Structure 1
């Protein structure tokens, strides 16, 4: 299998996992989710204040979950300009936030959009550093790391499913 096909396959698995985590909240059907909808258009307001204290863990989770997106976009489109890499990150995050509202499965939150975008940009930076360090071998190295991470993610999901069965 060539590197580009492997990258595409791993990216598809990542997108499926991303949708499962963000929209389905690790559940297997919409019916098992609490149905609520809300909109927060004030950055770093309601989502980071819990019981009167600043809670940053949700922002960090949003950043972390979108880091691979930035890396994959660069792997698939290495010749794009920086701004062209950011657009799909923002649009994907925005689409997921809007879908949460439409499906009544969560709050559409500008803070999530900002965190997701920051994560994607961190991914762009990681790709840039790895591509400078490893030049011609960067795609191969990133595919190996992505493949290992995907296998670990699938094993982790399997353990979660068995533990909750």
Structure 2
């Protein structure tokens, strides 16, 4: 047997031994990526549920979806100020609109962690503006620039919450935020469902009582 014949199997053996750690590392990376992908899908699903619930609350105030009459259309372009038709934004209304969009910032901050704050703010502003335009087109109440400003601020508060949790929990931030987002959305869904069912059962004519100023 020539030296070349001896060298070829040895080289093949060395090559196989070099590839073994790489394959093991690749398998380990894939196994670690699967839970992260599953968590992302779960978070995306509950983000969609939250958005549907948000539309129901802002547009129809937990009422059965409907289209209003033309005299309900109004536009308020001066933030926090009163108009001839509508009064100034009440403090409770502002707080409610702020809190409604905090989960928006939480979800988006987890689903798009590399986004800058201004990109998250831009998406939140577009989403809020879309709701206000829909509210005007369907004649569901006043479309107020105040709501766009406050909703956007609420999303930014969500990013601040993530930053605070990251300082506290470090690498467990995603787990903590995901758990609280899912739990909070589920509780909100159940509460809104119970309120809707209770109103239907009692024959209430206005399911949006107490929520008419939100959005």
Provide the TM-score with structure 2 as the length reference. 0.69
Offset of 1:49 from its aligned partner? 4.0
Offset of 1:38 from its aligned partner? 0.3
Partner of 1:90: 125
Listed as ranges, the matches of 1:64-83 within 5 Å are 64-83=99-118
- Structure 1 residues without counterparts, runs of 5 or longer: none
- For 1:148 and 1:34, the matched residues in 2 are separated by 37
- For 2:168 and 2:101, the matched residues in 1 are separated by 22
Partner of 1:99: 134
User: Residue 101 of structure 1 contacts residue 107 of structure 1 at CA under 8 Å; is this kept in 2?
Assistant: yes
Residue of structure 1 aligned with 2:187, choices 132, 152, 155: 152
- For 2:114 and 2:123, the matched residues in 1 are separated by 15
* Coordinate RMSD, CA, aligned: 1.9
Provide the TM-score with structure 1 as the length reference. 0.89
2:198 maps to 1:163: yes
Partner of 2:66: 30
Which one has the bigger strand percentage?
1
Partner of 1:46: 82
Larger radius of gyration: 2
- Structure 2 residues without counterparts, runs of 5 or longer: 1-34, 202-215
